Amino acid sequence: MSRRHLLVLAVLAATWGASYLFIKVGLRDFSSSFLVFARTALAAAVLAPIAYRRGALRELQGAWGAIVVLAVVQVAVPFLLITEGEHHIPSALAGILVASAPIYTALLALRFAESERVTGWALVGILVGIVGVVLLFGVDLSGDTETLLGGLMVLVASLGYSVGALYLKARLGTLQPAGIATATMGVSALLLAPFALVSFPSAAGADSVAAVLALGVLGTGVAFLLFYSLISELGASKASLVAYLAPVFAVLYGVTLLGEAISVATVAGLALILGGSYLGAGGRPPRWLSRTGPSRSTSPGPARAR
């Protein structure tokens, strides 16, 4: 991975990690459906001029069926689930649970994406990550039914991100990321418009409006353009590396700006999920561990996708 790719990953992680903060603030005055509609509509408006100048929109002819599927699987439904989930759980915890996306990607690749398939330490990583998720659900999300349901919503949304990443690479990987991002955001906004109109707010505070603007322009428009670019250049597994860094920023923002509390179980779950996701995407284990454990896995998909 080049320095440019590493820089893009870092910027994307910092931006995406802030999305959970923006969602939590936006929910003070907006419904989940209106919030998701607003962020996708804003993102499409920001991305459309870029896609037009690059000629990316012309490439979408004949691909609108796949675009609609991608919009539903990776944008509209996951966004709604995460937003609704944050009614019941802290923004930091939502960011941590979304970090399970690389684990899902590795699991799905075993069956559906031979070029992304991993073995050895990657399989160990999957198990480690699952233990982290179980720990969070057993301790931090065991308070009541609503809290548990909120965590499950975010976890299902993470699955949608993974399915969408593999689907994008398989069906739309030859198209320009700017066109894909613009189209998926626009389609998602259209799908959510009827629900947003029903819950249109009568009034909203300046902080909520600012949060929605930042969420739509930065956390959605710019972020998905960067993410789709990484998928096209590196493959789904390596692009999902952003999930290792984004939750760290989500926790940092949640604790420092929203005053959210974190427990020992939260930190332990985060460490297990991130470590498992790292190995699941083909990362190298420590040298002392690799000498005694299973052979280091390789991830042929990303290597060929360069």
Domain total for the chain?
Answer: 1
Give the pLDDT of residue 291. 55
Give the pLDDT of residue 305. 36
Helix axis angle, 121-138 to 145-171, nearest 10°:
150
Q: Are 98 and 247 in contact (CB under 8 A)?
A: yes
Q: Where are the alpha helices (DSSP H) in the chain?
A: 3-26, 32-53, 64-70, 77-85, 91-98, 101-112, 121-138, 145-171, 177-198, 206-216, 223-234, 236-239, 242-257, 264-280, 287-290, 300-305
User: Rounded to the nearest 5 degrees, what angle is found at the Cα of 193, between the Cα atoms of 190 and 194?
Assistant: 125
Q: Are 46 and 216 in contact (CB under 8 A)?
A: yes
Beta-carbon contacts of 127 under 8 Å, excluding residues fewer than 6 positions away, are 276
pLDDT at 49 over 80: yes
pLDDT at 16 over 80: yes
What share of the chain in percent tops pLDDT 90? 34
- For 167, 232, 291, the CA distances from 105, given in Å and listed in that order, are 11, 16, 26
Q: How far is CA 14 from the centre of its chain?
A: 12
- Residue 256 domain boundaries: 3-305
Q: Rounded to a whole number, what is the largest CA-CA distance in the chain?
A: 63
Q: Are 94 and 18 in contact (CB under 8 A)?
A: no
Give the pLDDT of residue 87. 92
What share of the chain in percent tops pLDDT 70? 81
pLDDT tens digits along 163-180: 888 888 888 888 888 899
Among residues 10, 33, 45, the alpha carbon closest in space to that of 213 is found at 45
Distance of alpha carbon 234 from alpha carbon 114, whole angstroms: 15
Distance of alpha carbon 238 from alpha carbon 249, whole angstroms: 19
In the chain, the amino acid numbered 225 is L
The model's pTM: 0.79
pLDDT tens digits along 24-41: 999 999 999 999 999 999
The position carrying tokens 């915890």 is 93
The conformation of residue 202, written as its DSSP 8-state character, comes to: S
